[in-house]
């Protein structure tokens, strides 16, 4: 069944993606109903946009009879597959598609899609800038906070689409096919969402399932050997190496530059100018010889390992904690022991972190990030680095990683102001 021709659609979830999908599909003649389980200020604001377009909706819960009165469901990435609504829809054999899947039905543009446990936002952003530096028209969208489906009306036939995709979005794809698919790395992540690591990896590999010999699949050699040795790639396989053998992100960008026939000199210029993204090892400044790094986007053990690699031995005060996603924190013990002068733990995961890292470095437990920052200030000496690299999701105390990182930067600024005033 071609879902594109089935016109009655339930949009499950009213975040940025859900709103963009509802508006786009309504414009294309689909009959839309939107359902969101929450009642937030943001959801109410978006619902007013639905009212303007005369799109029916409900907030505060999913009414099964309403959400199942459709031909198919477009699911927002914030709705977990274990939710009662999703399980009930599956029991009724109602097809479910992600926004990425639906957008792919309406776009014939070449797509470079980037996924991975860590690094995907940085690589996608750099690819977009490299394309622009080569004089090409490009759009950056997807999991980066800019839904692809909301960009389709603005895209011309010359536009190159750079798409960041998450495991949540890939899980509900059937026909999506990028001309270049990039899997940067795979490690334990979102195991509060996916039942097992194998399920998580399988979701990531859906990136490649529809590729043909005309397409390209870029994967890390060690991931191929250890995590999915038997996956039947149809696209041309291009390998890159681990961090121990150089910067894999730069390797990937070099490969894509070559595959697309771009100017390697311009790629190097973009990389040389790149100062990083907000909340990703962002240098927030220095106070009395102590440097502060905001790595709030670090929600995985792999990202924490990378952050600690960039930190000085025995001079790092690490702030970690938040909502556990099922990670194996023990795998970073050696790095914590070598790098950390002090570890301040906060949030839901602090018990698990303490158990995992006991004996590596002095550990201090506090209730929240503000208290963790105070402890870091007390312990910091000139030459130290205070590193917010939580290795956990933010949802126990914040709306998202951006809110968490913004608070950290505010705390640094307040501390700087007090130092100046004294």
Q: Decide if 278 contacts 409 (C-beta within 8 A).
A: no
Question: What digits encode the pLDDT tens for the residues 167-177?
Answer: 999 999 999 99
* pLDDT value at residue 361: 96
Residue segments in the chain with a per-residue pLDDT below the cut of 50: none
* pLDDT value at residue 27: 96
Domain ranges of the chain: 7-94, 106-273, 282-421
* pLDDT value at residue 200: 87
Q: 282-421: CATH homologous superfamily?
A: Mur ligase, C-terminal domain (3.90.190.20)
* pLDDT value at residue 220: 92
* pLDDT value at residue 33: 98
Question: What digits encode the pLDDT tens for the residues 86-133?
Answer: 999 999 999 999 999 999 999 999 999 999 988 889 999 999 999 999
CA 379 and chain centroid, separation: 32
Q: What is the spatial distance between Cα 422 and Cα 223, in angstroms, rounded to a whole number? A: 53
CATH for the 106-273 domain, from 3.40.50.620, 3.30.750.24, 3.40.440.10, 3.40.1190.10: 3.40.1190.10
**Domain 7-94: which CATH class?**
alpha beta
Q: What is the spatial distance between Cα 161 and Cα 147, in angstroms, rounded to a whole number? A: 12
* pLDDT value at residue 279: 84
Q: What are the structure tokens assigned to 266, written together?
A: 């311009």
* pLDDT value at residue 32: 98
DSSP reduced 3-state for 98: strand
């Amino acid at each position: 069944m071609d879902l594109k021709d089935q016109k009655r659609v339930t949009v499950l979830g009213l975040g940025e993606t859900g709103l963009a999908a509802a508006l786009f599909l309504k414009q294309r003649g689909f009959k839309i109903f939107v359902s969101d389980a929450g009642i937030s200020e943001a959801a109410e604001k978006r619902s007013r946009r639905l009212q303007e377009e005369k799109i029916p909706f409900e907030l505060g819960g999913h009414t099964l009879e309403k959400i199942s009165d459709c031909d198919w469901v477009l699911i927002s990435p914030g709705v977990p597959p274990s939710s009662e609504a999703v399980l009930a829809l599956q029991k009724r054999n109602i097809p479910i598609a992600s926004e990425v899947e639906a957008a792919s039905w309406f776009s014939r543009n070449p797509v470079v899609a980037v996924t991975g446990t860590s690094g995907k936002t940085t690589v996608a952003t750099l690819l977009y800038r490299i394309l622009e530096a080569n004089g090409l028209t490009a759009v950056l969208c997807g999991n980066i906070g800019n839904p692809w489906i909301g960009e389709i009306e603005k895209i011309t036939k010359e536009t190159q689409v750079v798409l960041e995709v998450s495991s949540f979005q890939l899980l509900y794809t059937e026909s999506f096919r990028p001309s270049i698919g990039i899997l940067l790395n795979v490690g334990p992540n979102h195991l509060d969402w996916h039942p097992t690591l194998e399920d998580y990896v399988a979701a990531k590999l859906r990136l490649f399932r529809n590729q043909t010999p005309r397409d390209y699949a870029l994967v890390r050699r060690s991931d191929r050997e250890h995590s999915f040795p038997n996956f039947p790639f149809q696209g041309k396989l291009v390998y890159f190496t681990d961090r121990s053998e150089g910067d894999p992100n730069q390797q990937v960008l070099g490969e894509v530059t070559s595959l697309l026939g771009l100017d390697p000199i311009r790629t190097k210029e973009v990389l040389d100018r790149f100062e990083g993204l907000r909340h990703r090892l962002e240098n927030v400044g220095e106070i009395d010889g102590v440097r502060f790094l905001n790595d709030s986007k670090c929600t995985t053990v792999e990202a924490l390992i990378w952050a600690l690699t960039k930190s000085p031995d025995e001079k790092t005060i690490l702030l970690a904690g938040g909502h556990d996603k099922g990670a194996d924190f023990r795998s970073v013990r050696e790095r914590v022991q070598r790098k950390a002068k002090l570890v301040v733990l906060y949030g839901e995961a602090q018990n698990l972190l303490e158990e995992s890292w006991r004996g590596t470095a002095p550990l201090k437990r506090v209730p929240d990030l503000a208290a963790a920052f105070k402890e870091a200030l007390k312990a910091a000496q000139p030459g130290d680095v205070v590193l917010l690299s939580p290795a956990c999701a933010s949802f126990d105390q914040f709306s998202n990683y951006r809110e968490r990182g913004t608070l950290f930067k505010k705390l640094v600024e307040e501390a700087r102001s007090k130092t100046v005033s004294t």
